Amino acid sequence: MSEHVMVCEVGPRDGLQMAKSVMPTEAKCAWIGALAASGLREIEVGSFVPAKLIPQMADTDAVVRFSRGIPGLTVVALAPNLRGAEAALAAGAHRISIPVSVSEGHSRANLNRSPDEQVAVVAKIVAWMREAGDKAEIEVACSTAFGCSIDGAVPEHAVVRIASALAEAGVSQIALADTVGYANPAQIKSVVRAVRAEIGPVLRGLHLHDTMGLGIANALAGLEAGIRDFDSALAGLGGCPFAPGASGNIVTEDLVFMLESMGFETGIDLAKLIAARGLLHAGLPAEPMHGQLAKAGIPRTFQKAA
C-alpha cells in the first residue's frame, strides 16, 4: 500500500475570508458536501470571529452544524480566543485551529496581541478544555513562520521558540504556516527540521500560500522533510486580510495530482474534486479561480496511487 498523505481543505475558511462577496450559506454547505464527496476527510469550514470584521464567516455556526452530519468528515473551525473556542465546541467542531503569529507585526495586526500573549491564550484554552473533559483536538498554526509582509524576515530560532512554548502548553498538533507565501524550498526544509528537533511529532503539517509561485515546490520540500499533512484550498482561494500582499493558498487539485502521481495515497478522487469547482463558481461567480490541473485536464498518463 502507498503511504498516506492527509490533505485538509481550508477553502471554506481561509479561501472565503478574502472573497469580495459573501457566499450564501446554502451554497457553502453544498460546496462542502461536494468536497467531502470527493474524498477529503478534513475540511476547515469556517472561523468563529466577529462578523463585523469578517462578514464571510457570519454563518460559521450553521456551517459547522451542517458539516457535522457528513459521515467520516473531521470538521475543523478556527477560533482566535476562548470565546471563539467555546462557540466552536458548542457547534460541534472536532478540531479547533488557533492562530499564533511568530512575528510581532502580524500578531498585533491580526489579534491585537503579542505572540507571547497569544501563546498564553492558547494555554488557557487547553486548560479550559481539560477541565471540561472535552475530547476535541487543538491545533495551532504558527503564522508567518517563514516571513512577514509587515516585519520582514522571521528568524528560525523565533519559530522554534514559539513552537516549543505551544508544545509545552499541551496543544494536540502544530502546523507551520507560510502566511504570506514568501518561503522557498530550502527554508521549508530547514525550519521543519529545526522545529521537529525541538518538539518531535507534535509538528504535524504545513499551511502554504503561493504568493511567489513556489507553493507546490514548497509542498514537495515539506514531503522530503517528512511532512505528511498539508492545508490547501480548492482553486487556490485565500489570503490573509491582516497580511498585506498575501495571496491564495496552494491549489488542492494541483497538490493532490502531485501527491498521487508520486505514489502517495490521499483517498481523493480528482475528477470529483474538479467538479466541486462548479459549485464554488456558482456560489461566488465573480471570484477568480486558479489551478493548472483544472486548466489542462487530468492527463491520460495519470495513475492513482494504490
Q: Is residue 21 part of a domain?
A: yes
- Which one, of 205, 55, 216, lies nearest residue 137 by Cα? 205
Cell for 241? Answer: 486580510
Q: Is residue 303 part of a domain?
A: no
Looking at the structure of the chain, the number of domains it has is 1
Q: Is residue 1 part of a domain?
A: no
User: Which secondary structure element, helix H or strand E, spans residue 105, and what is its range?
Assistant: helix 104-111
Q: How far is CA 165 from the centre of its chain?
A: 21
Lowest mean pLDDT among 24-28, 62-66, 135-139, 191-195: 135-139
2 falls in which pLDDT band (50, 70, 90)? confident
The pLDDT, as a whole number, for residue 242 is 65
Q: Is residue 301 part of a domain?
A: no
Residue with cell 511567489: 212
Does residue 244 carry a pLDDT above 80?
Answer: no
Q: Spell out the residues 6+ positions from residue 237 whose beta carbon is closer than 8 angstroms to its own.
A: 11, 14, 15, 16, 18, 19, 248, 249, 280, 287, 289
Q: Is residue 106 part of a domain?
A: yes
* Residue 240 designated active-site: yes
Can you tell me the mean pLDDT for 90-104?
96
Active-site pick, 8, 142, 148, 240? 240
Q: Is residue 42 part of a domain?
A: yes
Q: Is residue 306 part of a domain?
A: no
Query: Chain-wide mean pLDDT for the chain?
Result: 95
Whole domain around residue 268: which residue ranges?
6-296
Percent of the chain beyond pLDDT 70? Answer: 98
Q: Three-class SS of residue 64?
A: helix
Kindly give the residue spans of alpha helices, DSSP state H, lying in 6-81: 25-37, 60-67
Can you tell me the mean pLDDT for 160-184?
97
Comparing 250 with 238, the larger pLDDT belongs to 250
CATH number at residue 95: 3.20.20.70
Q: What is the pLDDT of residues 100-157, one digit of tens each?
A: 999 999 999 989 999 999 999 999 999 998 887 777 899 999 999 999 999 999 999 9
Q: Is residue 305 part of a domain?
A: no
Under 8 Å between Cβ of 60 and 30:
no
Q: Could you give the CA distance from residue 279 to residue 234 in angstroms, rounded to a whole number?
A: 11
Strands 229-232 and 6-9: parallel
Comparing 164 with 244, the larger pLDDT belongs to 164
Q: How far is CA 292 from the centre of its chain?
A: 20
Model pTM?
0.96
Expressed in percent and rounded to 5, the helix, strand and coil fractions of the chain are: 45, 15, 35
- Which one, of 158, 149, 72, 86, lies nearest residue 115 by Cα? 158
